[in-house]
Amino acid sequence: MCARLIPLLALALASCATAFEEPRNTVDLAHDGYTSARRPMSGMREVPLSGQGRYGDLAGCANADLPLSAPESIAFAASAALAMPPLSPGDMLRLSLPAGEAFEGTYIVAPDGTLTVPHLNPIRAAGFTIEVVEALVARMFVEEGMYRAGFLQLDLEIAQWAPVQVHVSGAVFQPGDLLLNDRNAELVQGSRVEAQGDVASGRTLVSALSSAAGLRPDADVRNVVLVRDGQRQIFDLSGAFTGQRMADPILATGDQVHVPSRGCFQEALARPSRITMPGIRVFMSNLTTPASSNSQAGINRDTASLPYGTRFLQALVAANCVGGTQATNADRWAVLISRNPITGESEVIARSIEDLVRRADRDAFNPIILPGDGIACYDSHVTNVRDVISAFSSVLTPAINLTILSGAAR
Residue ranges of domains in the chain, CATH in brackets: 2-60+275-385 (no CATH), 75-83+163-261 (3.10.560.10), 92-160 (3.30.1950.10)
Least confidently predicted of 147-156, 234-243, 399-408:
399-408
On the question of pLDDT at 62 being above 70, the answer is: no
Nearest in space to 244 (alpha carbons), one of 38, 67, 19 = 67
Q: What share of the chain is helix, strand, coil (3-state, %, to 5)?
A: 30, 20, 50
On the question of pLDDT at 43 being above 50, the answer is: yes
Q: How far apart are CA 70 and CA 354, in angstroms?
A: 40
On the question of pLDDT at 10 being above 70, the answer is: no
Nearest in space to 98 (alpha carbons), one of 39, 141, 43, 58 = 141
Strand partners, 169: 258
Q: How far apart are CA 76 and CA 308, in angstroms?
A: 28
Q: How far apart are CA 77 and CA 75, in angstroms?
A: 6
**Whole-number Cα distances in Å, 29 to 201, 310, 316:** 41, 20, 21
Q: Which helix (H) or strand (E) holds 282?
A: strand 279-285
On the question of pLDDT at 358 being above 60, the answer is: yes
Give the torsion through C-alpha atoms of 163, 167, 168, 169, to 10 deg: 170
Q: How far apart are CA 258 and CA 129, in angstroms?
A: 23
Which pairing describes strands 164-170 and 176-180: parallel, antiparallel, or unpaired?
antiparallel
DSSP category for residue 162: P
- pTM of full prediction above 0.85: no
pLDDT on residue 8: 54
Strand partners, 126: 87
Strand partners, 280: 306
Is 336 within 8 Å of 366 (Cβ atoms)? no
Alpha-carbon torsion (55, 57, 60, 62), positive or negative = negative
DSSP category for residue 39: S
Give the mean pLDDT of 348-366.
88
Least confidently predicted of 11-15, 282-286, 315-319, 358-362:
11-15
Q: What percent of the chain shows pLDDT beyond 70?
A: 67
The total of other beta-carbon atoms located within 10 Å of residue 39's CB is 21
Give the torsion through C-alpha atoms of 186, 187, 191, 197, to 10 deg: -110
Q: How far apart are CA 134 and CA 154, in angstroms?
A: 8
Using pLDDT thresholds of 50, 70 and 90, give the confidence band for residue 71.
Answer: very low
Is 123 within 8 Å of 140 (Cβ atoms)? yes
Q: Which helix (H) or strand (E) holds 327?
A: helix 326-329
Q: How far apart are CA 383 and CA 97, in angstroms?
A: 83
On the question of pLDDT at 17 being above 70, the answer is: no
Residues in Cβ contact with 192 at an 8 Å cutoff, skipping those fewer than 6 apart: 198
On the question of pLDDT at 66 being above 60, the answer is: no
Which pairing describes strands 92-96 and 105-108: parallel, antiparallel, or unpaired?
antiparallel
pLDDT on residue 173: 95
Give the mean pLDDT of 231-249.
89
pLDDT on residue 400: 62
Nearest in space to 335 (alpha carbons), one of 375, 278, 369, 282 = 375
